Amino acid sequence: MQNIKLDLSYTGITEKEISKYATKVKKIYNKLNEISEDENEFVGWLKLPSNYDKKEFSKIKKIAKKIRKESEVFVVIGIGGSYLGARAVIESLTSNFANMFPDKIRKSPQIFFVGNSISPNYINELIDCIGNKDISINVISKSGTTTEPAIAFRIFREFLENKYGADEAANRIYVTTDKKKGALKELADQEEYETFVIPDNIGGRFSVLTAVGLLPIAVAGIDIDKLMEGAKNAECNYSDDSIKYNQCYRYAVVRNILYQKDKTIEILANYEPKLHYFTEWWKQLYGESEGKGHKGIFPAGVDLSTDLHSMGQYIQDGKRNLFETVINVEETKTDIKIKRDEDNVDGLNFLAGKTMDYVNKKAMQGTIEAHVSGGVPNIIINIKKLDEETIGELIYFFELACAVSGNILGVNPFDQPGVEAYKNNMFRLLEKPGYEKERPDVRS
């Protein structure tokens, strides 16, 4: 079963152009497949849905249950790939207002994400918001040394120790990190925190279907068996080596053809606010994987129709270096019928009897047509509905497409050498030992 359908009819790209990539994508997939079990390559995500560690998975479910029982608040500490996947899935599949329901009604702990900035305000305000509630924390860092989560963890560890004492705090701290190395692993061993492993051959931005994403997702009450089932369907569907039928390859190829035609910015557009963080996850996946060697499509995102009232003008009429990828959720979870109003002062009676989802879909169709005629090719990704299976499938779809696309572009999609530059400068400015190098001359 495929819950994702790709529509390329608004791209202006022909079947002939796509088919030229047939041999190339087949070779790329075969290579990925060949190295997928190699501990030294970062391709462990390729077979993960069919080959994940079942013992670790059961432990995730067991601990998630414990956390749900013991905690009113669950704080997830992490940044980049150690944060965005969990937030993307949780926000796609739970209420927009999940954290705001009164405690008596809510079935899951409030989930807050921290350690993804260095803002003291954010942490102080979160601590004020938590107040006296019972809390557990999950600190996630593959390297175990990333500054933002490390600072947040130091603060929250102290918060827990002050609140519960060292022993009970240790019972409420969960660590997701490398199986052997890093400062976080060392600390977890020393304090005997419960730990979860990030496999060596899965990089941060490809790690949502490991404990990195799965523990917070399970704590949110989301069915992680179904999520993995969806990803497994995708793993099976997208191993088809025919470029004619493999939608994942087709997406990867078409975005590269558009890039060759100077469409250097891809905007991921959604018409469902629940997908805001899915877009953030996608931006990180593609930005960090492809932006290298002065190459790569710049991944941007818009929430529509909201951003039609801010970015709409640019998309319609600004520099023509854009293409758009629209995620269309075919079936809405709930709907509202617009009623007739006797006075009709707002002039909306022409919509009476129609549903909001119907109007949303028409807004989408109208926007696609407007943008395409304004010179912005549109790729449409139709997904069935927002449920665990579909989101699992979509995650895998974008991960594989990203790996294929990066290889077509000629970059290594699995490293991120560029992110070191700011860190080196920051550490030098903070006088971290070992970083006392001369200041680079960047001003004229």
List the one residue from 11, 110, 138, 146 that touches ligand PA5 (CB under 6 A). 146
Contact between 274 and ligand PA5 (CB under 6 A)? no
Q: Which of 55, 107, 309, 319 is catalytic?
A: 309
Alpha helices in 107-223 (DSSP H): 120-130, 147-164, 166-171, 183-191, 211-219
Bridge partner list, 112 = 75
> Would you call the peptide bond into 305 cis, given omega within 30 degrees of 0 as the criterion?
yes
Contact between 247 and ligand PA5 (CB under 6 A)? no
Q: Which of 91, 148, 272, 288 is catalytic?
A: 288
Site string for ligand PA5, 335-374 (x = CB under 6 A): ----------------------------------------
Contact between 296 and ligand PA5 (CB under 6 A)? no
Q: Among this protein's residues, is 288 annotated catalytic?
A: yes
User: DSSP code of 15?
Assistant: H
List the one residue from 49, 85, 199, 203 that touches ligand PA5 (CB under 6 A). 203
Distance CA 413, CA 403 (A): 6
173 in Cβ contact with 195 (< 8 Å): no
What part of residues 94-133 is at the interface with ligand PA5 (CB under 6 A)? none
Q: What are the φ and ψ backbone dihedral angles of 135, each rounded to 5 degrees?
A: -135, 145
Distance CA 145, CA 150 (A): 7
Distance CA 244, CA 262 (A): 24
List the one residue from 44, 49, 199, 204 that touches ligand PA5 (CB under 6 A). 204
Contact between 138 and ligand PA5 (CB under 6 A)? no
Contact between 143 and ligand PA5 (CB under 6 A)? yes
What tokens does 147 get?
A: 């500054």
Contact between 237 and ligand PA5 (CB under 6 A)? no
Q: Among this protein's residues, is 70 annotated catalytic?
A: no
Residue 181 beta carbon to ligand PA5: minimum distance, rounded to whole angstroms: 11
- Angle, CA 392 vertex, CA 410 and CA 383 arms, to 5°: 90
List the one residue from 44, 49, 81, 413 that touches ligand PA5 (CB under 6 A). 81
Contact between 413 and ligand PA5 (CB under 6 A)? no
Q: Among this protein's residues, is 362 annotated catalytic?
A: no
Distance CA 190, CA 341 (A): 67
115 in Cβ contact with 148 (< 8 Å): yes
**For binding to ligand PA5 (CB under 6 A), which residues are involved?**
79-82, 141-143, 146, 149, 203-205, 288, 416
Q: Which residues are catalytic?
A: 288, 309, 423
